[in-house]
Amino acid sequence: MEAPSGASNASAYHAEMDGDTKIPLILFPTCVMEAMAPAVGEAVVRTLRDRGFAPSIPPDATCCGQPAWNAGYPEEAATVARTTLAALTDAPSGPVCVPAGSCATMMRVYWPELFRRVGDEEARAAAVEIADRIVEFTRLVADDRRQADRQGTVAYHHSCHMLRELHIHDEPVALLTDAGYAVADWDDDDRCCGFGGLFSVKEPEISVAMADEKIDGLPLDGIEALVGSDLSCLLQLEGRMRRRGIDLPVRHIAELLDPSGPTDVR
């Protein structure tokens, strides 16, 4: 409904490319990816390199602050977010790639409000300044479409913040189909998985019921993996499926785009 936000300037960055020179890019890896899925982070790095970027992670970047912000603790969120904001501001210019729609939303949409709320004008101005550089991973990569002939049929979960705050819907699906995968129809593909950060701990029964309804709607017989672009949602869905004894592979989209990844879903 709003004007699309989070549009990448990757085309412009590509225009600056000179032969084999890679475009410097800041990768914000996200705490969940670093802790729970460094292998997915490697797939992200290789995919970005394949598309002409030279990713680096600012050593002092930590977390976007979202866990505390969503829980209602803006001071604590700001304390953490300030560290990351400073690390990104100090890093070279160029896109800041975030391989999770939720963290990208925190940084792009909520940082200005967070710093306004805690009365930190300097950080608020810096957050507004950097907002346009923050690009969610699939939107950045989708600027450079590549056809391939990988095999497999997957279901794709549209993560809420990515879909409704960054308005990214078509890009990840296009990337998957470009790569050769078939994306199965799934009625509930844009409904919340029930994670919601602290929500999944404070209201676990509702959270699990939400996951169950999504899982029950999956066309399990026709798919070889469940794919998403936000590891938090995937942890929730995978965590619930494992508990229910469903062993469907769960993959971050970068793993399916990884140039040195397997050529089928598994």
Partner 1 sequence: MSDDLRTRATEALADRGLHEALARATDRFVEIRRAGDDVANLDALKRAARWQRHRVMERLPEILERFADAVGRAGGVVHWAADAAEANDIVGDLAARHAVRTVVKSKSMLTEEIGLNEALEAVGIDVVETDLGEWIVQLAGDRPSHILGPAIHYTRERVAELFSARAGEELPPDPEVLCAYARASLRERFLEADMGISGCNFGVAETGTVVLVTNEGNGRMVTSVPPIHVVVMGMERIVETWDQLDLMMTLLPRSATGQQLSVYTTQVTGPRRDGEIDGPDELHVVIVDNGRSHVLGTGAHEMLHCIRCSACLNVCPVYRQIGGHAYGSVYSGPMGAVLTPLLDPSPAATELANASSLCSACHEVCPVGIPLQDLLLLRRADNAAGGAPAAFRAWAKVWSRPAAYRASIAAVQTGARMVPDTFVPSAWTDGRTVPRPRGRGSLRERLARGEI
Partner 2 sequence: MDRDAFLARVRRRVDLGFPPNAAHPLARVDDVPEAVYTEPLDDLVGAFVAAVRRQGGEPHRATTMEALETVLDDVLAGAGTVAVSADPEVALVTDLLDDRSIDIVHPRGANELADVPIGVTGAAGAIARTGTVVVASSRAASRSVSLIPPVHLALVPAGSIVATPSDWWRNMDDRHPDGPPSQLVFITGPSKSADIELTLTVGVHGPKRLVVVVWEG
Minimum separation from the CB atom of position 198 to partner 2 (A): 19
Segment 187 to 206, residues that bind partner 1, using CB under 8 A? 191-192, 194-197, 199-206
* Nearer to partner 2 among residue 64 and residue 241 (C-beta): 64
* Nearer to partner 2 among residue 112 and residue 228 (C-beta): 112
How many residues of this chain bind partner 1 (CB under 8 A)? 75
- C-alpha 258/C-alpha 174 separation (Å) is 15
Minimum separation from the CB atom of position 36 to partner 1 (A): 5
Contacts of 132 (CB under 8 A, 6+ apart): 9
Dihedrals phi, psi of 178, to nearest 5 degrees: -55, -40
Binding at 5: pick from partner 2, partner 1, none (beta carbon under 5-8 Å per type): none
**Residues paired with 251 in a beta bridge:** 227
Among 13, 53, 69, 111, binds partner 1 (CB under 8 A): 69
Segment 126 to 165, residues that bind partner 1, using CB under 8 A? 160-161, 164-165
Residue 116 found at the interface with partner 2 (CB under 8 A): yes
- C-alpha 187/C-alpha 58 separation (Å) is 40
Minimum separation from the CB atom of position 213 to partner 1 (A): 7
Segment 119 to 158, residues that bind partner 2, using CB under 8 A? 124
Binding at 112: pick from partner 2, partner 1, none (beta carbon under 5-8 Å per type): partner 2
Minimum separation from the CB atom of position 112 to partner 2 (A): 4
Minimum separation from the CB atom of position 15 to partner 1 (A): 26
* Nearer to partner 1 among residue 125 and residue 209 (C-beta): 209
Q: Of the ranges 13-21, 22-30, 105-113, 139-147, which one interacts with partner 2 (CB under 8 A)?
A: 105-113
Q: Of the ranges 11-19, 125-133, 177-185, 235-243, which one interacts with partner 1 (CB under 8 A)?
A: 235-243
* Nearer to partner 2 among residue 109 and residue 208 (C-beta): 109
Residue 191 found at the interface with partner 2 (CB under 8 A): no
Residue 117 found at the interface with partner 1 (CB under 8 A): yes
192 and 213 Cβ atoms separated by less than 8 Å: no
Residues at the contact surface with partner 2, assessed by CB under 8 A:
2, 109-110, 112-113, 116, 124
